[in-house]
Structure 1
Amino acid sequence: MNTSVVDCQKRLCPLRYLPRQPLSDPQASSQSASCVATSACESSALSFKRQAVRRSITPEFAKKVQSRSQVPVSRRSMRLQAIRPLRSLLHSKTTVSSALRPWGARGFASALVDKQVEGERITKVAELASEQAVRVTFEDGATAKFHKLWLRDHCRCEHCMHPETQQRQLDTASIPMDTPLHRLEVTDAGDAVAIDWDAPVRGTPCTASEFDAQWLRDHAYALEGGNAEDEDTAPYPKSYRQPRLTTQQLWAGADFQLPTHDYNKCVDNIEPLMRDLYTYGLVRVSDTPNSMEATEKFSKKIGFVLRTIYGTMWTTNPTNDAEGYNDTASTNLELLHHTDGTYIRDPPGLQIFNCAAQAGEGGESRYVDSFHVVETLRKENPEAFRVLSTTPLPYFTVDNDAHLATMEPLIRVDYAGNVVQFRHNDYDRAPLTHLSFEEVGEFYKVHRKLLEVLRRPETEFCMRLQVGDMMIVDNQRVMHGRHAFQGGDRALIGCYIGRTEYESRLRVLGII
């Protein structure tokens, strides 16, 4: 069977770290996937080699990829079930060539899946010599302006973009600042722009580039007219933009319905849990074995367990004081709302708590969506939001022969002003000696405004964990805490997962 479609995706987007997900009926799913894959492969096999050259894939590489057909159908089926962005590859509206196009973002699975064959078309292209630019006019009337240096720097041919590693080969600094064009035209089909350059640059013999119309539309950074107003604007460069299949929903505790997933079902398919985790920043897993081994095994389905000064896996209970841990979490005292690892330059992305034992009285867990809090603050007191998002605060910890310290704002926003991280832990805040007298007074004023919003009764979601409950918390978004407790040995088994690992898993699953 021709398995070029699946194997090409596997080659261009290595996902070997993905746990393969067992099928409830492997034989039935295998047969179904076989029929679909056969149909898709047969319909596109004839045009595979012809399209490969135009799509910046060498014929040699295409032939090599086509020859790799050793993956059993059942494994391909499992891979397709695990990776949402690659599913559309098996439908007739997506061509092999569009899947093979080198997008220059290794591992971004959803970026490898092109839009439908009847996608973007270009009607006109013109050089704007005075601006060192090229203006592209699309079929819907939208126009995009690209700097000539940007186009030369982003050539997708097999010389400028390695066809196997998908890594850039040309040396950007060697591109002439005034790079002349010898040819600039739209292809006969209107699906690409062809450019001939004056001379090759360091790292590549290339003197000609061809840019697919859909690729230019997706990566346009100066787009006007047509349907441009309806297109998504991402809070990061469009060249790294992923389709936002899931939207984050901010919540207040009074109206929050905690998403709950069964442990055994998550072991087979973790995608629904991950979707809820991204959406709300907080999920509960029920019927979880109360052992460190089970907690670690489950955590690794999301990503590698993060090693900190406390190791990889840890427990929170009062006996830890005698074992050398120096943290308020290892007492029976009340813990106010906070995020963990504020003293780490890149705080943990996720925190996992598995309730192994509960106290006799008290010990209720408390959660607050900090994104909801800071957006409320931004609306009610823009100046307080500005100060807290621009004033770095010092955090530190000294423990286990380690001294960690950092200075970062409590609220972190991206270049577009979107909140992307919240860092708050007054337990670990160091003395404020870096601010002027006036700035100190201003800080305490806006800090109080923040806590006033944070501690509104309707903001908090509170629940008493039961043995077998495992909470997964987005540590850079949702604050956690607890009420004081008495009696019993309240113990939580936990660990951290890095932000990079977490977001990588979301992309692989097609959630972001």
Structure 2
Amino acid sequence: MLGRLLRPSRGPWTARTSLRSLHSNTSPSASVIRLQALKPIDDADALQVTWTDGFTAKFHRAWLRDNCSCPACKHPTTLQRQVLTAAIPVHPTGPAQLHDDNQSMSVQWDAPVEGTDCVHSIYSAAWLRDHAYSDPSVHGSYNKHYRQQHLPALSLWGKELDFPTTTFASVMDEQGSGFRDAMHQLKQFGVLLIRGTPSSMDETERFARRIGFVLETIYGGMWTTRPTNPDQSYNDTASTNLALGPHTDCTYLYEPPGLQIFNCVLQANTDGEGSSRFVDGFHVVEWLRAHAPETYLFFVETPLHQYCIDDDVSLHTMKPLIQLDARGNVEAVRFNDYDRAPLTHLSFDQVGAFYKHHKVLWQAIHEGEVVYKMSVGDMIVVDNQRVFHGRHAFQGERALIGCYIGRSEYDSRLRMLDLL
């Protein structure tokens, strides 16, 4: 369903190419790499595979059986596994051999397993090399087929940020590379300024849907900070004219939105009033890791209670401020003092530690803050799981329209554009 509804990529990389490399054991590049030898490892129920360049890897027979990509084992349309993994013997048996001029190997299984009548699996030399999980250099790095954002590939920033900027016409041009270029900038920096945007909710939504689905939250789908009817109103400090310190949105959701879109349709006249504030949360985390390791560990290990209570709504989470991935790199931050509950879930000593470490955190946030006053026609897209946003107080009228997009939809679009 997702692949049919999201707009297809206009870039050189397509889902068809990606899915083939991920799900097919007969890689298009198989002709450029060859196997030299196979050796059974009986005590591990595995095969040792050697390539002509001397590279060696080991594969469990159960893993090979589980990852057969023939049409009987992996559905040719959905690319979903058909074989029942639980039915695969712990010690599957059957002879293996090289063939196709050593460009692939095959296994003739002694018996089929539930879910498929397949007894013959083929694996290309290139596909096996690409999935050589026994090699530390492969196992210890980011699997390229996982294709998630990871810290080493991102551009961290502080006050020196030169806002990545494009135009609405460019990102909406389906024939050019403007949209892909803009998404690359957004991925790198976590924030993107789009000039010349129409002051229209419909046009804002049209842009959002180039990335993915508009995320429905307690605020609805599309929203405005200056509602004209009761259906558009909501109980949140964002709808006031008060200052807002740097924060991320919806920290009380199990999965906060991936992106937030702000389209400025009315701006306060007084200089400086209503200016937007942005901080690279990943930069803050890395500064803490290097210069304040105790504070870093506190916010990695300590869950904080975030909540939102309104008419017919009671949302709560208990998550740490800094979320790490399996490799120890920061993959998300959730920070919002406005929505933080009293710290009654913490011990006496932990509460004292919280306020000590919060001072250090706030200093790092303040020192990395970028201030920008949006003009009518400016639309800013923010990675809500990376970049803190806020605003200065203002008098008079100021209005933004916008929406959220889910993290999964955003990452999907990046993959479809070959940016992950």
TM-score (norm 1): 0.75
Aligned to 1:388: 299
Q: Does 1:176 align with 2:89?
A: yes
Which structure shows the bigger proportion of residues in helix conformation?
1
Q: Does 1:137 align with 2:46?
A: no
Q: Does 1:434 align with 2:340?
A: no
Percent identity among equivalent residues?
48
Secondary structure at the counterpart of residue 62 of structure 2: helix
Aligned to 2:277: 366
- Which one of the candidate residues 101, 105, 113 is aligned to 1:201? 113
Counterpart mapping for 1:34-49 below 5 A: none
Q: Which has the higher contact order (CA 8 A, sep 6+)?
A: 2
CA drift at 1:324: 5.0
Instruction: Write the deviation string for residues 65-119 of structure 1: whole angstroms up to 9, x where unpaired.
Output: xxxxxxxxxxxxxx7xx04214997xxxxxxxxx895743xxxxxx999564543
Measured in 2, the distance between the counterparts of 1:302 and 1:101 equals: 23
Counterpart mapping for 1:473-488 below 5 A: 473-486=382-395, 488=396
Aligned AA for 2:157? W
Measured in 2, the distance between the counterparts of 1:432 and 1:154 equals: 47
Aligned to 1:263: 168
Aligned to 1:7: none
Measured in 2, the distance between the counterparts of 1:171 and 1:88 equals: 25
Secondary structure at the counterpart of residue 85 of structure 1: coil
Q: 2:82–2:115: 8 Å Cα contact kept in structure 1?
A: yes
Aligned AA for 2:337? D
Q: Does 1:158 align with 2:71?
A: yes
- Which one of the candidate residues 25, 38, 50 is aligned to 1:125? 38
Q: Does 1:504 align with 2:415?
A: no
Aligned AA for 2:5? Y
Measured in 2, the distance between the counterparts of 1:112 and 1:129 equals: 24
Counterpart mapping for 1:84-95 below 5 A: 84-86=12-14
Q: For residues 351 and 241 of structure 1, do their structure 2 counterparts lie closer, same or farther at Cα, with a shift above 3 Å needed?
A: closer
Aligned to 2:401: 493
Instruction: Write the deviation string for residues 301-321 of structure 1: whole angstroms up to 9, x where unpaired.
Output: 111111111111111249899
Q: 1:325–1:400: 8 Å Cα contact kept in structure 2?
A: no
Measured in 2, the distance between the counterparts of 1:367 and 1:314 equals: 21
Secondary structure at the counterpart of residue 5 of structure 2: coil
Aligned AA for 1:251? W
Aligned to 1:470: 379
Q: Does 1:285 align with 2:233?
A: no
Aligned AA for 1:268? D
Secondary structure at the counterpart of residue 309 of structure 1: coil
Q: 2:25–2:127: 8 Å Cα contact kept in structure 1?
A: no
CA drift at 1:438: 2.2
TM-score (norm 2): 0.91
Aligned AA for 1:190? N
Aligned to 2:154: 248
Count of aligned pairs between the two proteins: 413
What is the root-mean-square deviation of aligned Cα atoms in Å? 2.8
Q: 1:86–1:113: 8 Å Cα contact kept in structure 2?
A: no
Instruction: Write the deviation string for residues 381-421 of structure 1: whole angstroms up to 9, x where unpaired.
Output: 22322221122111011124211111111111111111111
Q: Does 1:329 align with 2:238?
A: yes
Secondary structure at the counterpart of residue 439 of structure 1: helix
Q: 1:159–1:205: 8 Å Cα contact kept in structure 2?
A: yes
Q: 2:6–2:212: 8 Å Cα contact kept in structure 1?
A: no
- Which one of the candidate residues 249, 266, 270 is aligned to 1:340? 249
Q: Does 1:16 align with 2:4?
A: yes
- Which one of the candidate residues 302, 321, 331 is aligned to 1:420? 331
Unaligned stretches of 5+ residues in structure 1: 1-12, 21-78, 90-98, 105-110
CA drift at 1:330: 1.1
Measured in 2, the distance between the counterparts of 1:141 and 1:322 equals: 67
Q: 1:373–1:454: 8 Å Cα contact kept in structure 2?
A: yes
Q: 2:223–2:232: 8 Å Cα contact kept in structure 1?
A: no
Q: For residues 144 and 243 of structure 1, do their structure 2 counterparts lie closer, same or farther at Cα, with a shift above 3 Å needed?
A: farther
CA drift at 1:469: 0.3
Aligned AA for 2:167? D
Q: For residues 87 and 400 of structure 1, do their structure 2 counterparts lie closer, same or farther at Cα, with a shift above 3 Å needed?
A: closer
Q: For residues 280 and 268 of structure 1, do their structure 2 counterparts lie closer, same or farther at Cα, with a shift above 3 Å needed?
A: same
Measured in 2, the distance between the counterparts of 1:453 and 1:100 equals: 42
Unaligned stretches of 5+ residues in structure 2: none
Q: For residues 260 and 332 of structure 1, do their structure 2 counterparts lie closer, same or farther at Cα, with a shift above 3 Å needed?
A: same
Measured in 2, the distance between the counterparts of 1:293 and 1:384 equals: 44
Counterpart mapping for 1:21-32 below 5 A: none
Aligned to 2:127: 215
Aligned AA for 1:85? W
Instruction: Write the deviation string for residues 283-314 of structure 1: whole angstroms up to 9, x where unpaired.
Output: 11101111212111211111111111111111
Q: 2:84–2:115: 8 Å Cα contact kept in structure 1?
A: yes
